[in-house]
Chain A
Amino acid sequence: MPGQEDGSSRLSQCNCVALFGAALGLLSLGLPWLSIRSSRLAAGEPVWLVSAIGPLVAGIFLIVWLLALRAGFDTNRERSAATLGAAGALLAPATLIAAGIGSKHLLEAAEPFARSSLSAGVWIGLIASYVLIHTAARSLEGRPALRQTVIWFPVLAIAIAGLSGLYSNTSLAQEFAGNEGRFIQELSRHISLSLGSVAIGTCIAVPLGTAAARSKRAERPIFVIASTIETIPSLALFGFMIAPLSALSYAYPALREIGIRGVGTAPALIALVLYSLLPIVHNTYVGLKEVSPAAMDAGRGMGMSRPQLARRVEFPLAAPLIAEGVRTASVQSVGGTTVAALIGAGGLGHFIFQGLGQAAPDLILMGALPVIALALVVDIVMRWAIARLSPKGLRAEAVT
């Protein structure tokens, strides 16, 4: 309550999430920020904060994190949220830029093929900034302009800094520079494979889910099969696909002509389609079952034929849940597609396995980070699309 000065109640009112973030941020200052290695393959030497970015900048970081810590105790929600938001939004790009510039200076003094990698301090600093941004955004629900600024400023700042080459001396950026063309190619393969498989999966899964919802007899086998598929480890499933597809493509050369062979895109696509089935089947089933029986009875009684009932009442009402299932399947698929690189289908996994093969950790990151980012982007875009496209009547119902 405003005005209370009692210490224990202040602690209980504090923004625990913000405190956690600030504590994490302070911790990140104490961890090694960069790792200098004499070559791409050698072991790295840790470089601590002050050596990495200089005492002045380090001092500024320390002050900002301390301010964030203090803001966590601030009982004035608005002021606290603004401080945390500003702190997080500034710290995230600042951490990366400082690391980038620090790398540049360190490499000037090092051997010709030395590499500078981002280390634990940077990653944890970024996570801590994210925590601050997240909790500030939650508290700023009532100030949409400020909220959007806090969320998008760091993203834009990081992107612009990247494009203007401020990170170009980090090992990660150098790996990227060496593989740019191939990266675009594999990224587009990854996107089309993961999203394409979900698109195909949806066309199969929605009818299956509908059948399961409509017929008790169909329900069990459909769910048993879909669930079993889900439990098969992805690499194993990809592997299973190879033999029968190879045999098929040898027996029927026409299949080979259209691109269905034992290795490559076809087995990966089929396996990914199979994986996308369960979330969509399940959500379709639940969505249809949850349609209000009163609405169904009214619709029938008013003279809707079965297809009309499905088209005008059942599916529009089940649609939000089905869409959520598609979203789940999509995010899952982005991750699952990573393994497809092992059977020749390409995708971002290509860099992960290449990095493993060459024992080059930053190459692995170059593959792994985009996968994570892609999954997040797919998730955010789909959530936004679902919210926009949900019938208004249901949207409000979901909130209330």
Chain B
Amino acid sequence: MRTRKAFIAVSMLITLSLLLGCAGAGGKEPIVVGSKIDTEGALLAQTILLLLDDAGIPVEDRSHFGPTDIVRKALLSGEIDLYPEYTGSGAYFFEGTDPGIWKDADAAYAEVARLDLETNNIVWLQPAPANNTWAIAVTSTLADAEGLETLDDLAAYLNAGGEFKIACSEEFVTSPPALPTFQDAYGFELTDDQLLVLAGGNTAQTEQAAAQGTDGVNAAMAYGTDGSLSALNLVVLTDPRGAQPVYEPAPIVRSEVFEAYPEMADILAPAFESMDLVTLQTLNAKIAFEGQDARDVALEYLTQQGFL
């Protein structure tokens, strides 16, 4: 008897806690803001959350939701309402687009905004003018020693037989817009022992590997706005030939939610416009390098710039 009563009580307690935990949304439907599992995504998500909240719109924080495809699926299925995405990703999401479009910032934005609205009812808002695209960064030691500034310099160095090993992810090696594009555009080819492929690798790990010289690595796959570059003494090689597609971050939102709150375009635009490459690098560095909370960094920036 005691056993049964206790069991019922306990399971009711559990069910209750489950319902409470999953509920989250109460009263008016808040806008659920998500992001990918990376520093910049968190920063931009917190920026969005703070701005919308300040304007009196109810929001829910689901940042660091998951990897790209999970977050995208979540948006399409309505699990989340808004997240920051990159214009260049349009090349993945939509087949049969002209590759040239993606190398031009404005054209890329226009194309992906059009396609997403038509196909998926997703609205793209004002992007930030920062190109967070694939890049190759080398240790400052190497850069100084060999005078490497651009990818042209790197090609020359490689073709002259220079010692080189880059830490990168699987995606970087195989995905056409990444390494293959670099190699085609600049005329070099990396051999297998010049690659250190990290499973599921992200730029934080590759940059750390290069900085520590793990396994003879002296270069890393990086993104344009990575915060740890200067802290780890890595130098990004510039892309004068414009080989890479442009990746500008912009908030993207489900059209039903946008129609409910059309004012969000104007609320978010000024802040995003202000975030150029250097700004994002600095802000990212505060999170990744100093370990500050993304929310605090966003709050400080927005307050300083007068957006809040």
Do A and B touch (CB < 8 Å)? yes
The chain B residue sitting closest to A180, CB to CB, is: B293
CA distance A390 to B276 in the complex (A): 65
The reply to whether B66 and A342 form a contact with Cβ atoms under 8 Å apart is: yes
Contact A344 B79 (CB under 8 A): yes
- CB of B21 within 8 A of CB of A41, answer no
Q: Tell me, yes or no, whether A174 is within 8 Å of chain B by CB.
A: yes
B303 at the interface (CB under 8 A from A): no
CB distance from B159 to the nearest CB of A (A): 32
Q: For residue B38, which residues in chain A have a CB less than 8 angstroms away from its CB?
A: 357
| Interchain nearest-CB distance for B84 vs A (Å) | 15
- Residue B160 at the A interface, CB < 8 A? no
Say yes or no: B77 contacts A250, CB within 8 Å. Answer: yes
Given known A40-B290, A178-B292, contact A261–B6 (CB-CB < 8 A):
no
Kindly report which residue of chain A lies nearest to residue B206, judged by CB atoms.
Answer: A359
> How many residue pairs bridge A and B at CB < 8 Å?
149
Interface readout for A22-40 with B: 1 if CB under 8 Å, 0 if not? 0000000000000000011
B299 beta carbon closer than 8 Å to chain A: no
List residues 180-196 of chain A with CB under 8 A from any CB of chain B: 182, 185, 188-189, 191-193, 195-196
Of the listed residues A189, A191, A264, the one surrounded by the most CB atoms of chain B closer than 10 A to its CB is A264
Chain B residues with Cβ below 8 Å from A182 are 61
Contact of A319 with B17 in the complex, beta carbons under 8 Å: no
Instruction: Tell yes or no: B22 within 8 A of A by CB.
Output: yes
Given the complex of chains A and B, what is the CA–CA distance between A243 and B152 in angstroms? Answer: 44
Note all chain B residues with C-beta closer than 8 A to A323.
3, 7
Q: Nearest chain-B residue to A171 (Cβ)? A: B291
A396 within 8 A of B: no
Q: Distance in Å from the Cβ of A345 to the closest Cβ of chain B? A: 9
B289 touches A39 (CB 8 A): yes
A360 within 8 A of B: yes
Contact: B67 with A196, CB < 8 Å?
Answer: no
| Chain B window 201-214, contacts with chain A (Cβ cutoff 8 Å), 1 for yes, 0 for no | 01011011001100
- Distance in angstroms from B273 CB to nearest chain A CB is 27
Q: Are A264 and B14 in contact (CB under 8 A)?
A: no
Chain B: number of interface residues, binned into ranges: 35 or more
B191 to chain A, nearest CB (A): 26
Contact: A264 with B20, CB < 8 Å? Answer: no
21 sample A-B contacts, Cβ–Cβ < 8 Å, listed by A number? A40-B288, A41-B207, A41-B232, A41-B288, A113-B290, A178-B291, A178-B293, A178-B296, A188-B20, A189-B21, A192-B19, A193-B18, A195-B17, A199-B18, A242-B70, A261-B79, A262-B74, A356-B202, A358-B204, A360-B288, A389-B3
A residues bordering B, Cβ < 8 Å? 39-43, 113, 115, 174-175, 178-179, 182, 185, 188-189, 191-193, 195-196, 198-200, 202-203, 242, 246, 249-250, 256, 259, 261-265, 316, 319, 323, 341-344, 346, 350, 353-354, 356-360, 385, 389-391
Partner-A contacts on B (CB < 8 A): 2-4, 6-7, 10-11, 14-15, 17-22, 34, 37-39, 61-62, 64-67, 70-71, 73-74, 77-80, 200, 202, 204-205, 207-208, 211-212, 228, 231-232, 288-293, 296
Cβ-closest 10 pairs across A and B: A192-B21, A196-B18, A359-B204, A199-B14, A178-B293, A261-B77, A264-B79, A40-B291, A344-B66, A263-B74
Besides A263-B66, A350-B64, A357-B204, 16 new A-B residue pairs in contact (Cβ under 8 A), listed by A number:
A39-B290, A41-B207, A113-B289, A113-B291, A192-B17, A199-B14, A203-B11, A343-B66, A343-B70, A353-B37, A357-B39, A358-B288, A359-B202, A359-B205, A360-B291, A390-B3
